[in-house]
Amino acid sequence: MENDKQIKEVVKNKYAEIAIVNNNSGCCGTNSKVIDYSIMQDDYSEIDGYLKEADMGLGCGVPTEFAGIKRGDTVVDLGCGAGNDIFVAHPYAGEDGKLIGIDFTQEMLDKANKNKAMLNADNVEFKLGEIENLPLDENFVDVILSNCVLNLVPDKEKAFAEINRVLKKGGHFCVSDIVIKGELPEKLKQSAEMYAGCVAGAIQQDDYLNIIKQAGFDSIEIKRTKVIELPDEILTDYLTADEIVTFKENNIGIFSITVVGYKN
């Protein structure tokens, strides 16, 4: 990737394709090649508020599980896709709450609005926007959610600064995201498919937590950690047999973490 703009275009194009072509597949890829990232996702099917049509299989956790959403809260989901986490958050916030999903892929928002119409959820809204420049007022939100999206954002410092800006004092976020321990092979980092699959954009866990701290958050806590193991059929697309052995022997870790933080 030559620059941040290129990365964002790759991600946008991939997720537009998922919305149009690979409906509910949990995959990303091109017409000639599809990569299954369902190894990262959690099962939502038994959760209150779940709508199958909204579940694109692209998450890496269940942030609503630890979000502490209360009745009447204003809840925002960053990178909302087809609305899965917004609809799961709806029973917590209730009819008195306000729920807003934000995504920079119009095709995903089109699906989200179709799903909203199915549920007749009047207090749900979906907006086009970028995480580094949120279309929201300051001190507006009680709880921010995000699921396997923030690590796709090239400027994570700006993303968490925006999260801080729009949260009310005492408000908090709960996000599930991909982090790494050790250094990913360069070929994985450079792969467009791996960017869209929430792996190559990942940074070191300690660096991720430090960005959150520097953005002005307190009481930062990892609520859940899950190991992500890339299957050999994915690794062989990018690495030689010897490189795969080295990759595994070095115990390079790819993890999904669900983390919370509170605004000062």
Contacts within 8 Å (CB) and 24+ apart, 246-249: 247/185
pLDDT digits (tens, 9 = 90+) for 112-152: 999 999 988 899 999 999 999 999 999 999 999 999 999 88
Of 239, 220, 222, 242, the C-alpha closest to 230 is 239
The CB density around residue 71, as the number of other CB atoms within 10 Å, is: 11
Please tell me the class of the 4-263 domain. Answer: alpha beta
For residues 102 and 105, what is the distance between their CA atoms, to the nearest angstrom? Answer: 9
Q: Tell which wins on pLDDT, 181 or 8.
A: 181
Helix axes 156-166, 205-214, angle to 10 degrees: 40
Average pLDDT value over all residues in the chain? 86
DSSP string computed for 144-160: EEEES-GGG-S-HHHHH
pLDDT digits (tens, 9 = 90+) for 96-114: 999 999 999 999 999 999 9
DSSP string computed for 203-234: -BHHHHHHHHHHTTEEEEEEEEEEE----HHH
pLDDT digits (tens, 9 = 90+) for 9-64: 767 667 667 667 654 444 443 333 445 556 677 889 899 999 999 998 888 999 99
What b/e readout covers 135-162, taking b as 16+ CB neighbours within 10 angstroms? ebeeebbbbbbbbbbbbbbbebebbbeb
Tokens 């949990």 label which residue? Answer: 26
**What share of the chain has pLDDT > 90, as a percent?**
58
Q: At residue 165, does pLDDT exceed 90? A: yes
For residues 257 and 60, what is the distance between their CA atoms, to the nearest angstrom? Answer: 8
For residues 229 and 231, what is the distance between their CA atoms, to the nearest angstrom? Answer: 6
What amino acid is encoded at 75 in this protein? V
Residue 8 phi/psi, 5° resolution? -65, -35
Q: Name the pTM for this structure.
A: 0.85
**DSSP letter at 67?**
S
Q: What pLDDT band is residue 253 in, cutting at 50, 70 and 90?
A: confident
For residues 132 and 150, what is the distance between their CA atoms, to the nearest angstrom? Answer: 10
Residue 129 phi/psi, 5° resolution? 180, 165
For residues 10 and 187, what is the distance between their CA atoms, to the nearest angstrom? Answer: 16
For residues 234 and 230, what is the distance between their CA atoms, to the nearest angstrom? Answer: 6
pLDDT digits (tens, 9 = 90+) for 204-241: 999 999 999 999 999 999 999 998 887 788 788 888 99
